[in-house]
Amino acid sequence: MRSEELHNYLAKNKIRWQFNLSKAPWWGGQYERIVGLVKQALFKVVGAASLKFQELREILLDVEISLNNRPLSYVEEDIQFPTLTPNIILMGQNNALLEEDVASIEDKDLRNRAKYLERCKDNL
């Protein structure tokens, strides 16, 4: 912090310090919570498994949709009150992914991999 060389480098590259108090919701606590929820969901779904990049992308998309379909407030007993979710705010409706029929895949190895991926998604 006292290095003049460091300060010159930061000034030259227009880099400035910005501190994040993670426990204060107005300073980043909200998105830290979302990061924690994504990590927890990935741990439950994937665990120690090795996934290909495309499979990981699919799992992340499912996690994203699940988190964006979660209610933002208490769910009322009365069904006339709509449940407010991030997807309703962004798109006006809840989202769902269309899944490919695993039985229609001809290659046995691909079918087994697709069944494994489907089990992972079901764990979510």
Token pair recorded at residue 24: 């204060």
pLDDT of the residue at 25: 59
Q: What is the dihedral of CA 61, 63, 66, 69, to 10 degrees?
A: -70
Q: Which pLDDT score, from 0 to 100, does residue 67 have?
A: 83
Residue with tokens 């990935």: 42
Residue 109 near residue 117, CB atoms below 8 Å = no
Largest Cα–Cα distance of the chain, in whole Å?
65
CA dihedral 96→102→107→112, nearest 10 degrees, is: 100
Distance of alpha carbon 119 from alpha carbon 13, whole angstroms: 48
Tokens of 46: 């994937």
Query: Helix, strand or coil for residue 111?
Result: helix
Which residues does 49 contact at the CB level (< 8 Å), separation at least 6?
A: 120
Residues for the chain: how many in total?
Answer: 124
Report, as an integer, the average pLDDT of 96-117: 68
> pLDDT tens-digit profile of 54-79?
888 888 888 888 888 888 777 777 66
| Predicted local confidence at residue 38, as pLDDT | 87
pLDDT at 19: 67
Question: pLDDT grade, residue 97 (50/70/90)?
Answer: low
CA distance 68 to 62: 10
Which tens digit of pLDDT belongs to each residue from 9-57? Answer: 989 999 987 766 665 656 666 777 888 888 888 888 887 777 788 888 8
